[in-house]
Every structure is written in C-alpha cells, then in structure tokens.
Amino acid sequence: MVAARLIAAHPHGELIFATSDKWRNEPLEVRLGPTMPASLRFIANAEALTVDGPLDAVLLATPVEVSFALAAAFRERGVAVIDLSGAFRLKDAAAYPRWYRVEHPYPQLLAEAHYGLPELTGPAPRGALVANPGCYPTASLLALAPLVRAGLVEREGIVIDAKSGVTGAGRRGEEAYAFVELDADLRAYRALEHQHTPEIAQALAVPSLTFQPHLLPISRGLYATAYGRPKHGATAAVVAECLRAFYARAAFVDVVPVEEVRLREVVGTNRARVAATADKDVVIAVGAIDNLVKGAAGQAVQNLNLMFGLPEAAGLDALLPQFP
C-alpha cells in the first residue's frame, strides 16, 4: 500500500486504480491516509482486468498465484508489469515447487522477466515484466554483490544473517503477529527454508549460500549482515573502497563506515546504506534499507522511472528521513 501512496504522490504519475479484496469499495484515503485521491475506492483484485482506459504500467503486490494470472493477462495487453511478489524472480521454474510450494504456470515469462535491482541490473526495457526484488535480497545484494563480482569473496560458504521489522513478515490478523507476541521479542524464523535464499544465490551467481532471517520488534527496516571468506587480498580498506567505487554514482546508495549503517538513517526513504570490512578470516558486508520502500514499493517506482526515462529519483526524493 506504500506503492499506492508513492504513485499517488508521483510528479509524473497518476494512480488509476488500486485493488484490495479485503478493503473493496472503501475509499483509499480512509485506509492509506489523506494524501490519496479522494475519489478513488479499492476494487477487488479480480476487477483489475476490467479497468478501462490506457494504462502504462501495473504494480502487483499480490500473492504469487494472483501475480501469475494478472501478470500474464496484463502482458498480453502490452502493459508493463512490476511484480513485487516472488512470482517471476527465479529463472529456474523447477525451483518454484520447493521454495514457493507451487508449480510455475508460465515458465516462458521467467525467461523474459527483468530482475529489477537497478544498481546491479540497470534499467528494464520499456514495457518489460520486472521482477521487483525481495526485501532481504535487496539489502543483501547491495552490500555483497559488488564484492563477489570483484572476486574479493569466495563463492562458497557465504552466510547472510538478516533482521527485519514486522512489516516484512507479519500478517495482521494472525495471533503470531499480535503486539503482545512480538513486543521486545526477537527470534529466527524459517531456518534453511526461506524463499529468498535461491533468489540471492541466483543474483550472486553462487552455487549455494546460507540465509537466516530474524524478526525484529519494530515495524519497518531491514538489516543484512553478510559473511564471506576473503579472496585475492581482500583487506578492510580494499573491500570498503570496492563498495565506494561501485556506488560512486548511485542515486540511492550511501557507502559509510559499518557503525553508520543504521536503520534510522534509511527508514522512510528509498535509500540504502552499505559498508564492508575484513580481516584475514572474513569479509563482513552490511546493508540497511526500509523494507517497504527500497525493499519493495520504492524500488518498484525506481524501476518505473528508469523504464520510462524519467529521473531515477522522481517521486522518491521527497521521502525524508524520519529520525529526529
């Protein structure tokens, strides 16, 4: 729903419709706040395909199965699709039963799909199907991929220990995500079976890796700590410089010392902070993002901007940090 807010406030965008089976017929501004167009009401997911008039792009923040169907249908109409689910992120259709517990119905769309992490994969072609990266992969890859690409980290034995606010994991109506369950708590979850594991490995082009997420007692923010074995003289200075050089012209990524990679600096914005250090035993790379913005809706808008030749930060540079 952050996506709807961002599109509604985008200087070059217009929000035509928004869907929600749960909130069907309710005014958007009641659910999303007074910055939403007063005239719009949610329609059901199934009604999306009945919307008249010209559409440049749709953003899908729907369950995998819904994304399969809507993406295929909008593709046939020539509408660009930015899909925020995992439906089109893995190249290997055979991985879907294991990681998403579903057979992939459109393997040919997997081949077409552009994995949209702009700092690493560049702009998508106009009209493309964009697989918008997961929140954990975004933070992990921004921190680690430049080092792996530069050959400073062994491709085997990578460990990513990630920590996410509740909006990255929780569904509202379940007891497990109640305030009194999560307040002041922390735990690991989905050990060795989180679906972002193959997505990160694919983007790093490594044969396997260990990814372990944890649930933080905060609403927003995602922090990834990656550990790898150093290679080719990867010292603290070399790995830090590698990141600085890689992101020298990046609009949204700040390379800073490890202790300045903090959730407070990025939450509320589309920015990422990354850092790396090393000694003889290990390379440590850390990344922090707002899981709902750079980890989801903000990155979707960034992908849209690049696809349509707009300034990369359009509709995103007005997102101010929230720390006092």
Of 32, 71, 135, 215, the catalytic one is: 135
Interface with its own copies includes 324 (CB under 8 A)?
yes
| 3-state SS assignment for residue 201 | helix
Using CB under 8 A, which residues numbered 59 to 98 contact its own copies? Answer: none
Contacts for 91 with CB less than 8 Å, ≥ 6 apart: 110, 111, 202
Question: For residue 28, with 0-12 CB atoms within 10 Å meaning exposed, 13-18 middle and 19 or more buried, which class applies?
Answer: buried
For its own copies, give the closer residue by CB, 76 or 174: 174
Nearest approach, Cβ of 217 to its own copies (angstroms)? 6
For its own copies, give the closer residue by CB, 104 or 294: 294
Which amino acid would we find at residue 254?
D
Nearest approach, Cβ of 115 to its own copies (angstroms)? 24
Residue 242 bears catalytic tag: no
Specify the stretch interacting with its own copies by CB under 8 A; choose among 47-55, 71-79, 127-135, 259-267: 259-267
Residue 309 near residue 68, CB atoms below 8 Å:
no
Using CB under 8 A, which residues numbered 211 to 250 contact its own copies? Answer: 212, 214, 216-221, 223, 225, 227, 229, 236
- Pick the binder of its own copies from 53, 233, 259, 309 (CB under 8 A): 259
Using CB under 8 A, which residues numbered 171 to 200 contact its own copies? Answer: 172-175, 177-189, 191-192
Using CB under 8 A, which residues numbered 4 to 43 contact its own copies? Answer: 5-6, 9, 32-35
State the residue for tokens 């305030």.
179
Nearest approach, Cβ of 269 to its own copies (angstroms)? 8
Using CB under 8 A, which residues numbered 114 to 133 contact its own copies? Answer: none
Which amino acid would we find at residue 56?
D
Nearest approach, Cβ of 195 to its own copies (angstroms)? 15
Rounded Cα–Cα distance for residues 92 and 110 (Å): 8
DSSP codes, 43-107: B-GGGGGG--S--SEEEE-S-HHHHHHHHHHHHHTT-EEEE-SSTTT-S-GGGHHHHHSS--S-H
Nearest approach, Cβ of 252 to its own copies (angstroms)? 9
Contacts for 271 with CB less than 8 Å, ≥ 6 apart: 252, 253, 254, 265, 289, 294
| 3-state SS assignment for residue 128 | coil
For its own copies, give the closer residue by CB, 101 or 172: 172
Rounded Cα–Cα distance for residues 322 and 324 (Å): 6
Q: How many residues bind its own copies (CB under 8 A)?
A: 80
For its own copies, give the closer residue by CB, 104 or 220: 220
